[in-house]
């Protein structure tokens, strides 16, 4: 019997609910019941929530007060009223973010957060506890489809150095182990010889499931396969998050871990937006968010099944609402019904969220997030892109802020080179970095096959 799980589910959660008014399990119960509703009933539920949010916005959020004239339309047809509000992209939000804070909230009660990663430019925003609890409940509902509950033992294979910085503290690990029943394996510097140690740790811990970035899980899986390391038990699932999960990654992970891979689609600034069920359907969390998929140029609605820019309206964030927020991902909606029988609509897989894992000349894997983390502490850098051609060579393109001199980038370049010791990195300063094929700008791109690179390394 897993005593920590028993403790979390029978003591910790009830205490958090009683003492702090935590509502995660309450929301989870609601979501567990609404997933069985028909699509019409779900639409009605979503429309009611949208109406309440829009009325709040025009009354108390400075950025949305100019839309007070939509009040009648909000009352009768909230979806059509929503479409009269312009799409909010991240740049506009970043420039005017103070205007999105609800006048009636106590700012000291807000939870500050920052998005990292894919745009290379950090974005600050606020949430409140209620919003976070809705996000958590949506995650637990998705996990429940694989038989996982809030106390289930897990191993997190994580590649984000920002979070890993705070994870270095002992208190953090104790909290993870005893309050979350979870241990963390850092995936930003994995090596073949450390895999065996990690596998031994995993064997002692015997988690019910694994959780991690697609690229980090994939890197871990490749090393497991290379070292022929097998698990002696069958996990319930490996949950992939935060990045596009490619088919080749799914195959390698399933073959290494010997169980299903389940995809979670979420964003730090929008919550858990979709989750893959046990039948492979990617179900949208329609109770928490309104999805629109639009043509990236005309902003007109895309037909079902066609890829377009995802526009999200989070229905639970009343403290800093962002209506029609353009996340930067490309997705397609689907009108198929899932064989699992849940009424929640489906989406196709996400395109355009990628982070690459780099390979050093001595065979160490470095997660691409490391570079964005470095850039954050160097103000002169407006944008950058690093491309690794082979373990031995890479190029670094830098866009400086207009008021910065080239010499101010020296420390940034040094830090980047420290991460890839022995790799020859050519540096150039450019005016702009073009977006990739997916339409999204990527800051870290590995141009060679990782397995091939590791194999060649072995034979040298």
- Interface residues with Zn ion (CB under 5 A) are 277, 279, 281, 338, 340
CA–CA separation, 450 vs 116, rounded Å?
Answer: 24
- Strand spans (E) along 332-409: 333-334, 346-347, 357-359, 365-367, 381-390, 393-400
Q: Given the complex with Zn ion, which of 212 and 343 has the nearer CB atom?
A: 343
CA–CA separation, 49 vs 206, rounded Å?
Answer: 41
Contact partners, residue 340, CB within 8 Å, separation at least 6: 145, 277, 278, 279, 281
Q: Given the complex with Zn ion, which of 14 and 280 has the nearer CB atom?
A: 280
Q: What Å distances lie between residue 247 and 128, 239, 244, 432, CA to CA?
A: 36, 14, 10, 32
Q: Given the complex with Zn ion, which of 289 and 454 has the nearer CB atom?
A: 289
Contact partners, residue 421, CB within 8 Å, separation at least 6: 360, 361, 362
- CB 339, min distance to Zn ion, A: 7
Q: Given the complex with Zn ion, which of 65 and 279 has the nearer CB atom?
A: 279
Q: Is 265 helix (H, G, I), strand (E, B) or coil?
A: strand
Q: Given the complex with Zn ion, which of 281 and 321 has the nearer CB atom?
A: 281
- CB 355, min distance to Zn ion, A: 27
- CB 35, min distance to Zn ion, A: 9
Token pair 């208190």 is found at: 171
Q: Given the complex with Zn ion, which of 260 and 442 has the nearer CB atom?
A: 260
- CB 277, min distance to Zn ion, A: 3
Cα dihedral across residues 117, 119, 122, 123: positive or negative: negative
- 3-state helix, strand, coil split of the chain in percent (to 5) is 40, 25, 35
């Amino acid at each position: 019997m897993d005593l920590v799980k028993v403790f979390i589910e029978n003591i910790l959660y009830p205490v958090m609910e009683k003492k702090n008014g935590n509502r995660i399990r309450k929301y989870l119960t609601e979501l567990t019941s609404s997933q069985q509703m028909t699509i019409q009933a779900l639409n009605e539920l979503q429309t009611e929530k949208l109406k309440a949010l829009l009325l709040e916005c025009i009354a108390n959020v400075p950025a949305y007060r100019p839309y007070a004239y939509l009040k009648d339309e909000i009352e009768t047809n909230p979806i059509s009223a929503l479409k009269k509000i312009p799409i909010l992209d991240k740049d506009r939000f970043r420039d005017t973010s103070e205007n999105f804070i609800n006048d009636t909230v106590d700012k000291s009660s807000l939870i500050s957060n920052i998005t990292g990663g894919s745009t290379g430019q950090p974005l600050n925003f606020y949430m409140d506890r209620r919003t976070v609890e809705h996000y958590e409940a949506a995650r637990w509902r998705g996990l429940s489809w694989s038989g996982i509950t809030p106390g289930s033992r897990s191993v997190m294979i994580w590649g984000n150095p920002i979070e890993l910085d705070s994870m270095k503290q002992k208190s953090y690990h104790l909290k993870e182990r005893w309050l979350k029943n979870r241990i963390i394996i850092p995936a930003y510097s994995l090596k073949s010889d450390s895999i065996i140690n990690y596998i031994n740790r995993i064997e002692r811990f015997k988690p019910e499931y694994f959780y991690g970035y697609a690229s980090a899980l994939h890197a871990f899986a490749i090393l497991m396969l290379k070292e022929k390391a097998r698990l002696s038990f069958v996990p319930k699932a490996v949950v992939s998050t935060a990045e596009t999960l490619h088919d080749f990654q799914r195959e390698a992970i399933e073959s290494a871990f010997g169980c299903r891979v389940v995809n979670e689609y979420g964003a730090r600034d929008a919550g858990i937006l979709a989750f893959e069920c046990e039948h492979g359907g990617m179900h949208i969390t329609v109770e928490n968010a309104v999805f629109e998929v639009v043509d990236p140029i005309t902003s007109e609605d895309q037909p079902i099944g066609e890829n377009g820019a995802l526009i999200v309206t989070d229905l639970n964030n009343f403290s800093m609402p962002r209506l029609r927020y353009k996340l930067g991902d490309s997705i397609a909606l689907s009108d198929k019904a899932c064989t699992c029988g849940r009424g929640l609509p489906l989406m196709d897989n996400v395109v355009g969220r990628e982070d690459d894992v780099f390979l050093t000349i001595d065979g160490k894997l470095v997660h691409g997030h490391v570079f964005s983390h470095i850039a954050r502490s160097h103000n002169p850098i407006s944008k950058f892109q690093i491309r690794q051609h082979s373990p031995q060579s890479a190029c670094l393109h830098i866009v400086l802020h207009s008021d910065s001199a080239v010499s101010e980038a020296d420390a940034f370049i040094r830090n980047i080179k420290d991460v890839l010791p022995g790799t020859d990195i050519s540096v150039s300063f450019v005016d702009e970095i073009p977006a990739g094929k997916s339409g999204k700008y990527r800051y870290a791109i590995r141009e060679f096959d990782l397995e091939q690179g590791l194999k060649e390394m072995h034979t040298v």
